[in-house]
Amino acid sequence: MSLHLPLLSPQTAELLLNGSVMAERRNWSVLKASGPTVRDYLQGQITQDMNRLSADCAIHTALLTPQGKAVTELYIIEGNNDELILLTPASYATATVARLRQFALGQELRIGVVEALAICSLQGTHAHSQLESFALPEPDEMWLATSRNPETDCFAIVMPHHPRGYWVVTAATSIRAVVSRQPEVEQNAFEAMRIIRGFPDFGIEWDAAIHPLNANLVEFDGVSFEKGCYVGQEVTSRMHWRGGIKKKLYRVSVDGRPDTLPCPIRTSVNIGELKSAAIDQENRCIGIALLPIETAESATALSLENGATLHVLEACHA
């Protein structure tokens, strides 16, 4: 049986180029955190500097164990009434809440999953026009810029998808009402867009087995090396300052198709792994691979076990 890969069809590509597409992203969950010490508490828990969070700009970050292993990745938005909005992969939402509560002794912290809120992905050249459906102003051009509707629990965040996209965070009922009035686009098309763009997700292209710095946390502006102490900082700082980052995630093209995913990438021996792959509108196979930096940035010939040739396009980045 052949491997089924996410597909970006020519029809969807045309909508991206000359219009927009949207869909609810059910593989992400929305959390809320509040309390008088919530910012100070998170400052000691996450890899990014909470002082960079503002009403106009979200932050990208990771939550680590004391051993430096990833618990999850997070996007944090400044919400209404001193609340913080945390976006995390849905399959890790419960563990994220438990982990943050675990070390909150003595803190006035309230945190939990908000089932009534959801995330809608807007993609395409004219994705900004769809923000009007949610009564949202367009954020500025910077990565993770945000805007909000002050009358509702509704936020927009700039995400670097293809060619310019947003996530809207608001009531799930509102999202479903707006999406139902649009041309239907399959969920796997949005996965294809993400992979083709080279935008790795925690739990798919990387997890606790891969240190966040090897998963391009620096390239996605998810770590500060100037802030104070946080859980997992010692391992993270040592990797950064002592040259311990030997592998990264790269966008790659494949002359052929993988038989399985993930699958080994070879020179004369296995040296990396193709983590995910998708088919673009021109029937090209584009993927995200974990590779040694030295190999990826040289002219070394790479292939899959089935003989398909692999080409490195660029390091994954925001």
Residue 53 belongs to a domain: yes
CATH number at residue 81: 3.30.1360.120
- Cβ–Cβ < 8 Å for 71, 92: yes
Residue 1 belongs to a domain: no
- Please tell me the predicted confidence (pLDDT) of residue 61: 98
Residue 44 belongs to a domain: yes
Which of 197, 225, 253 is the last residue before a domain boundary?
197
For residues 157 and 237, membership in a common domain is answered with no
Structural domain of 66: 10-197
- Please tell me the predicted confidence (pLDDT) of residue 141: 85
Q: How far is CA 165 from the centre of its chain?
A: 13
For residues 239 and 146, membership in a common domain is answered with no
For residues 129 and 230, membership in a common domain is answered with no
Token pair, residue 285, equals 């196979």
For residues 153 and 216, membership in a common domain is answered with no
Residue 160 belongs to a domain: yes
- Please tell me the predicted confidence (pLDDT) of residue 162: 54
Strand partners, 192: none
For residues 170 and 294, membership in a common domain is answered with no
- Of 253, 213, 263, nearest in space to 235 by CA: 213
- Cβ–Cβ < 8 Å for 252, 274: yes
pTM, two decimal places: 0.96
- Please tell me the predicted confidence (pLDDT) of residue 244: 87
Find tokens 């890899």 and name the residue. Answer: 47
Residue 10: how many CB atoms within 10 A of its CB? 12
- Cβ–Cβ < 8 Å for 24, 180: no
Strand partners, 250: 289, 315
Q: Count of domains in the chain?
A: 2
CATH number at residue 227: 2.40.30.160
How does pLDDT run along the chain (318 residues), one tens digit per residue?
Answer: 569 999 999 999 999 999 999 999 999 999 999 999 999 999 999 999 999 999 999 999 999 999 999 999 999 999 988 899 999 999 999 999 999 999 888 888 999 999 999 999 999 999 999 999 999 999 998 899 999 998 888 999 998 765 579 999 999 999 999 999 988 898 999 999 999 999 999 999 999 999 999 999 999 999 999 999 999 999 999 999 998 899 999 999 999 999 999 999 999 999 999 999 999 999 999 999 999 999 999 989 999 999 999 999 999 999
For residues 185 and 48, membership in a common domain is answered with yes
For residues 30 and 179, membership in a common domain is answered with yes
Long-range contacts: 206-211, Cβ < 8 Å, 24+? Answer: 206/70, 206/249, 206/275, 206/290, 207/70, 208/65, 208/69, 208/70, 208/71, 210/70, 210/290, 211/68, 211/69, 211/70, 211/235, 211/236, 211/239
Which of 169, 197, 225 is the last residue before a domain boundary?
197
Q: How many Å is the maximal CA-CA distance in the chain?
A: 60
